[in-house]
Structure 1
């Protein structure tokens, strides 16, 4: 009979391997039971894990339920019956008969989620203490039950939900795009209803303005989308905003020369109506130019130009110069020179995010690493809070309006994996004391 070999994926079921007189045998890291070589099969090890250690299965399923933003009752109502059906079909009724011992009631899932959430929170607090420098972002909203919910994100090397709708104006550009695409149908409908705004669609100047606004909103939407995401920071956001402000000035100059290629809807409408629309365009061109000037002014007022030279070394220390760093901090420029000639970190920068890059640099070069981290932790956008409140809307529905969503939110939004072994050990110690 051929011998079975151990596979790395068996660790998923809590099994490592021992050598017994040249024969590999699986050993459970939870109960230390040693099984036969014949048991080195995925379904047998999984069966041991699920039948001998159902508490781990419960917590894994509870974590999945919270991550997928599902009601706690789905475990008892859907997951367990489906698991029993599948196990009975594949492994037989004898194996399936053991699955009912796995408790997935509403109360059990809620309790497991609370344990997992507390473990994640404790990890975040511990990491904050080690990080030294961190920032937080706070926002407040009301849920379906009209209760106020406060959300706090913290960022150090990475960011997590510590405590526990989309951007509305993003849809305006899409609405204008649909209006332009369906202008013939809309005009016909309004004429049929004898509505006073039906005549607007015959007004070339008005339509040119709508086309222009559609293009502007589309460009703003693209800018906004480029600034969303979990890994954005002040440096990357500043670069995108500075580039967009330069583009506004460029588009204004082109518009002054009558060039409209950057505005596709406007350009398409002008080509469709030829000379008639071009004549009207000359009449409204000063209005469009003035609007771009106002946009530039507003961007300058709300988002003043930053001196990015002092941040260039953070963005790419291998393109910066030693004089870009302060001489007032002893050892800072010396560490920069060391980093500048470090080929390992040069290669790392091309594959890692800025946060990960400087976190690793900080371990070897604490002076320059700490200085760089003063630029990275601050939150540059409200993206995370917006995503959090979207999750809140999905978690706390009208049908679940009495739910305290804090624990579910933390698991759904945090990237930290809970240490289930620590939770079980704490539970075991608690029962021993009582």
Structure 2
């Protein structure tokens, strides 16, 4: 064949789609200023402008998996067949539990609570294994709060307690708290004083002005000592031995806190998942409240999952409580330890489970995992998670924020709309949950 017969190589550029001000749902910062570049033919995101390293991994690693739309005991089935079976499982249960909800839209969360209410089950979120103690503390002592926008524009003193935002929330420093120039802090970082309280020196320690390395399991004592100093009372000297921090250092910190124009305590799971649990959160929230006798102070938890704050909000305004809510008696009952999923499963009390956008088989205790694997379960997940592998009914779903529109809540309780990049061949959590709810109601009304 002559060279003239060889077809010319075609180098057509891929068709690109630009999505401006997309929302990243990886962590609780829920940054809504991301510009995405999408390869339309490949259904892949090729650029995520302004996203942090975690956000870029979230966007770039997303792809449509070649999986059945639904399975029953591992056998591929249609959505309709799976929906029928899911409704049967939940209706037959005497003590079902609905769990997860942190990585889906608030619209889907609302339907999940409704399903749980119709069947008289227990609804719980991943909050119960992370900031659950903070949810308990809010109900005990309240919360002096604000939006991240106020912290950005007003806060001149920041205390990061029991967290490592430099690695867990990379844009928090640059977008919301430490670095940005604000209306009342026009010089940004130069106008702010930052303190880190933690049991070990993390990357965040390099970004702050003062690092207080406390001894493990002494957060409550330090917070309570600061409360005493705020009221002009000297703490017992033994607190130095307990916390590893001198009273003089505590007094210096309190003097600086009183001189601040607007201060914020931003606390992580290092505070809630150690000795003291909700009492630690209560102490820090009470400290922020006490400081308002002198100046303006707020306290906010640093939330992890993209819409875990939305889960707390939806369950709270639906039932009056944020997580671990039993609806079996026709009215909500809240009791962490009794109605939280990891405990229900470990005690072998639940006889069916509806798991939404979560993977308890990867992080629960072994007794809880063993029992979950032994009972009928309905799992909604974009990925073939460990929980989806043992599910009786497993639905492959579209990914919220990338394929699905809707609403999520930022860690400061501000609702943010989602702008999806491209469609998925799979249904959303909301559509599947609505299908389950409709079948449950039809059978309940038909039986009545």
Q: Which has the higher strand share?
A: 2
Q: Name the TM-score, length of structure 2 as normaliser.
A: 0.24
Q: Name the TM-score, length of structure 1 as normaliser.
A: 0.24
Q: Which has the higher helix share?
A: 1
Q: Which structure ranks higher in relative contact order (CA pairs < 8 Å, sequence separation ≥ 6)?
A: 2
Q: Which entry has the higher C-alpha Rg, 1 or 2?
A: 1
